[in-house]
Structure 1
Amino acid sequence: MERITLGNTYFEGENDTYLFTGDRTTLIDTGIATEGTREQLADSLAEYGVSFADVDDIFLTHYHADHAGLAAEIQDAGGATVHAHPEDAPLIEGDDEAWDDFRDQQRRAFDEWGMPENRQEALLTVMQTGVDHHAAGSEVETFADGDRFDVGETTLEVMHTPGHTAGLSSFVMTDRNEVFTGDAVLPVYTPNVGGADVRVDRPLERYLDALGRIADADFDRAWPGHRDPIDDPTARAEEIVHHHEERAYRVLRALDDLGPASAWKVSDELFGDLENIHVLHGPGEASAHLDHLTRAGAIEKDDDGTYTLPDDTRERFHDRDDGRWPL
C-alpha cells in the first residue's frame, strides 16, 4: 500500500489517497476535482507505473468533493468500479433529485438554525463552488457494513462510521489490524458533525457511536483522509470524545449566559464570526450538540426553535468543575 498526499486548500489541509497494486489496482479516495490536484494525482500514480486508466477499483470513504471529486474522471479513463455506501452513492453519482433534496434540506436547516438571510445567500454561493469540485457522475456499486473485498495482498472490511456524513465508511485491513478512517478520525482536526451533512439524523449520537466502534477495535494504526497516519487510533478517538464533552459544556455555558438562544447565536458564542464554509460548520455543530442535549433531557427546545437551559441542568452545570459535560 502506498500513501499519496494531495494538496487541498479548500478543507482540512492535505488529502490522502491510498494506492494498492497487484492483481487489481485500487484507490481509496481520489482527491478534489481541481486541475492542480488532478495533475498531482496523475504524476504520483505514474511514479508507481499506474495511470488513471489502470485503476480497477475505487473505494470512497464518503461523498465530499475532496475525497470523491476525481472518481468519475478515473472511471471514465478505464472503467474502474467505484464503491461507496448507499447513503452517499446518489450524491457521488450526481443524481439530480438527490442533490435537489439535499439542497432543500440544507435551506430548511439554515432556517431552523436561525441563520440570517444574507448569510444564507453568501454561504450558498460558497457551497456551489464546492459542488463544482465534486465532478459527480460516477456509476457506483454500493457496499454494506461488514462487506469484504480482496485488495492487493490484503482484505478490506467495511466499517460504517457515520456522523460527518450519512455514508461515511472506514476500511479495515484485516491482516494488519489497521484502518482507513476517511474523515471519521483525523490527526489534527475534529471532523465537523451537523453541518458537513445535514441529512444525518442524530449526528452527534451517531458519530459518538462510530468513535466507540473505532476505539473498541483497538487498531494498531489509522490511515486518515487528511494528513499523517495515527499511531494510536484508540487514544485519538477517545480524545475526540473528550473534545465533544468539552464542547457540550461550552454549549450549556452559552445558554447560561445568553438565555433562550438559537443554534446560530450559540455558534456565535462558541466560534465568533465565521467566514466561507465555516458559516456552515459552526451552527451545524452547535445544532448537533443542542439536538443531542435536548434528546438527553438536559435542555429544552421551545416552539420558536430556541433552546433553554432548565434550572435543574443549570444547577448541575454549575456544580461541575472539570469543564466537561458527559455525553
Structure 2
Amino acid sequence: MERIRLGNTVFEGRNNAYLIPGDRPTLVDVGVATDSVRHDVRDGLQAAGYEVSDLEAIVLTHWHADHTGLAGELQAESGASVYVHADDAGIVAGDPEALAEERDIRDRRFSEWGIPDGPLDEVTSFLDGHDELQGDRVDVTPVEDGDRIAAGDDELEVVHFPGHAAGLSAFAFDGDDGREAFVGDVILPKYTPNVGGADLRVDRPLETYLDSLARLADQNFARAWPGHRDPIDDPAERARVIAEHHRERTRRVLSVLDEHGPADAWTVSAHLFGDLSNIHILHGPGEAFAHLDHLVAEGVIERDGTEYVAAAGDVAVDELVPVPETKR
C-alpha cells in the first residue's frame, strides 16, 4: 500500500489518498478537484509505477469534496468502479434530489441556529462558491456495512462509522501487524472531526458519533490510516481521547447555559469558539448544536424555540457521554 499525500488549500489540513497495488489497483479517496491535487494524484500513482488508466476501483470513505472531488474524472479516464456507502451515494453521484435535500436541511439548520446575517452571508457564499470542488458526476456503486470489495490482491471490508458524515465508512484489511483500516475522518491524529456541522443530515449527531467511536474501539485495529495527516498506531486509544474531548465539551456547553442563561446554538458556539469565519461558521454552531441536541434528547436541558434552557440540578456528564474502554 502506498500513501499519496495531497495538498488542500481550501479546507484544513493535508489529505491522504491510498493506492492498493496488485491485480486490481485501487485508490482509497481522491482529494479535492483542484489542479494542484490532480498533479499530486498523478505524481503519486506514477511514483508507484501506475497511471490513472490502470485503476480498476476507487473507494470513497465519505462524500466530502476533499475526499471525493476527483472521483468523476478519474473514473472517466480509467473506467474504475467507484464505491461509497449508500447513505452518501446520492450526493457523490450528484443526484439532484439528494443535493436539494442536503441544501434544504442546511437552510433550516442555519435558521434554527440563529446565525446572524453577516456570518450567514459569509458562510453561504463560501459554501456556494466552492461547488466546483465536488468535481464531475460519478457513477457510484453503493455499499453497506459488512460488504467486501475486491482491492489489490485481496479485499476490503466496509465498516460503517456514521457521525461526521452519514455514510462515513472505514475499509478494513489484514495488515502486517494485524487488522488495519482506512478510516477517512472517523478519527484523526491531531484534531477532532467535526460533528453536527459536517453533515447536517445526521440525526442525533453526537450520539451517533459516540456510538461509532465505541464500535471503532471494539474493532481493535492495529493501525488506522486517516484521511488527513499521519497514521494512527493506537486507534482505540485515539477514539477514547476524542470521546473524552466531547465529554469535556458537554460540560462547557452546560456551563455556558448556567452562566449566561437561555441561548441559541450560535450564541453557545460564540462562547465556546469565539469569532468564526468561512467554513467554521458552519462547524462551530454545528458542534454546539450536536451537544445541545444530545442534552435535550437526554432530558437534561429543554428547547424553547431556537433557544436552549438549562435545567436545575446536577448533571451526570460521564453517563451522558460514554468513553469506550480500550484493550491493552
TM tier relative to shorter chain: over 0.9
Deviation at 1:118, TM superposition (A): 2.7
Match in the other structure for 2:59: 59
Specify the alignment match of 1:202 in structure 2.
204
> What residue identity is the alignment partner of 1:60?
L
Letter in 2 for 1:61: T
Shift of 1:24: 0.8
| Most deviating of 254-263 and 172-181 | 172-181
Structure 2 residues without counterparts, runs of 5 or longer? 323-328
In the alignment, is the contact (CA less than 8 A) between 2:122 and 2:277 conserved in 1?
no
| Structure-2 change in CA distance of 1:198 and 1:272 (3 Å) | same
For residues 265 and 325 of structure 1, the distance between their equivalents in structure 2, rounded to whole angstroms, comes to 22
Q: Where does 1:5-44 land on structure 2 (aligned, <5 Å)?
A: 5-44=5-44
Q: Aligned partners of 1:53 and 1:90: how far apart in 2?
A: 25
Cα–Cα, structure 1 residues 325 and 161, in superposed 2: closer, same or farther, change >3 Å?
Answer: closer
Q: Which amino acid aligns with 2:128?
A: Q
C-alpha distance in 2, partners of 1:115/1:33?
29
Alpha-carbon separation, structure 1, partners of 2:144 and 2:52: 26
Cα separation, 2, equivalents of 1:154 and 1:214: 22
Work out whether residues 262 and 308 of structure 2, in 8 Å CA contact, stay in contact via their aligned partners in 1. yes
- 3-state SS in 2 of match to 1:238: helix
Shift of 1:28: 0.4
One-letter amino acid matched to 2:309:
T
Task: Give me the identity figure in percent.
Answer: 52
Letter in 2 for 1:155: E
Which position in structure 1 is the counterpart of 2:117?
A: 117
The runs of 4+ residues in structure 1 deviating greater than 6 Å are none
Distance 1:325 1:147, change over 3 A: closer
The CA distance in 1 between the partners of 2:195 and 2:87, in whole Å, is 16
Q: Give SS of 2:209's match.
A: helix
Equivalent position of 1:267 in the other structure: 269
Q: Is the 8 A contact 1:6 1:31 kept in 2?
A: yes
The yes-or-no answer on 1:308 pairing with 2:320 is no
Cα drift, residue 316 of structure 1: 4.1
C-alpha distance 221-39 of structure 1, shift in aligned 2 (>3 A): same
User: How many equivalent residue pairs?
Assistant: 320
Structure 1 unmatched runs, 5+: none
Amino acid at match of 2:161: T
2:243–2:321 contact (8 Å) kept in structure 1: no
**Offset of residue 211 of structure 1:** 0.5
Instruction: Give SS of 1:288's match.
Output: helix
Paired amino acid for 1:305? T
1:140-181 CA-to-partner distances (Å, cap 9, x unmatched) read 001010001232233211000000111100111145311111
Cα distance between partner residues in 2 of 1:89 and 1:159? 16
**Amino acid aligned to 2:170:** S
